[in-house]
Structure 1
């Protein structure tokens, strides 16, 4: 990770801290059932970064769940205070999603998509101008397709 810091954050108790050295490669509001349960509300706000751009200090625990597409989503949290912090999916290797509320300052956050819109509660208002996907966003192109 480079020395420049784009953003930093920590869990509620401060036992887990992180820094990020790049701007997000994408950002989203996810309304899937798993994110609703993990956040305790209608959606999870996530910013996604190359894993190499994130430095994490402190012990985390994780929980794996199978998504509706069959990929594995691993959610990392602080074992002391329970704060949900990071996530990875086998569908996007090398990318780490960070819960936006865990950042010290997050005025830079602007979601660029809404995913699992089909599960969005009527009371959870979102920007109507954002692209929406009834399920997850399309997976990134494979390296074979990207090079052709």
Structure 2
């Protein structure tokens, strides 16, 4: 099995509908499409926003993603120059998803918010050049020193 087939097999393990939500349960979501990518992001922004050495997430087509509940957004500039909007629960502050203005066709959903994460497996590590020195990055199918270009 080639790399592309391995990636597709890992991603297709997460079959829709995919449900999740925040810590307090006031924000919930449903994804009605299979993820197109999954990742461990080691960038300094994800580290600072999460308080963890990396963040795991998966990307789905934006039109397949629906949320309910009160949210607040945090906006920042990414290394690419595009604005990234991170959406949090207004009550508990959990980060639920993010979206880059450079890829508005995708929603990046934080895997820690999944109701059932048993089929989630990141296919990639990104920003390994910024990885915390005290953590060994998890094994993935592909890894990148920065964010790869689509």
TM-score if structure 2 supplies the norm length?
0.85
Q: Which residue in 1 is equivalent to 2:20?
A: 9
Q: CA deviation at 1:125?
A: 2.3
5 Å matches for 1:29-40? 29-40=40-51
Residue of 37, 40, 43 corresponding to 1:26:
37
| Cα distance between partner residues in 2 of 1:97 and 1:129 | 18
Q: CA deviation at 1:77?
A: 0.1
Shift of 1:134: 1.1
Aligned partner of 1:91 among 82, 102, 105:
102
The CA RMSD over aligned residues, in Å, is: 1.4
Look up the match of 1:103.
114
**Structure 2 stretches of 5 or more lacking a match?**
1-14
- The answer to whether structure 1 residue 60 and structure 2 residue 76 are counterparts is no
Unaligned runs of 5+ in 1: 141-148
| Structure 1 residues 56-95: Cα deviation after superposition (integer angstroms, max 9, x where no partner) | 1111110110011101111000111000110000121210
| Aligned equivalents of 1:128, 1:56: Cα separation in 2 | 31
TM-score w.r.t. length of structure 1: 0.86
Change (3 A) 1:125 1:77: same
* Cα displacement (A) at 1:6: 2.4
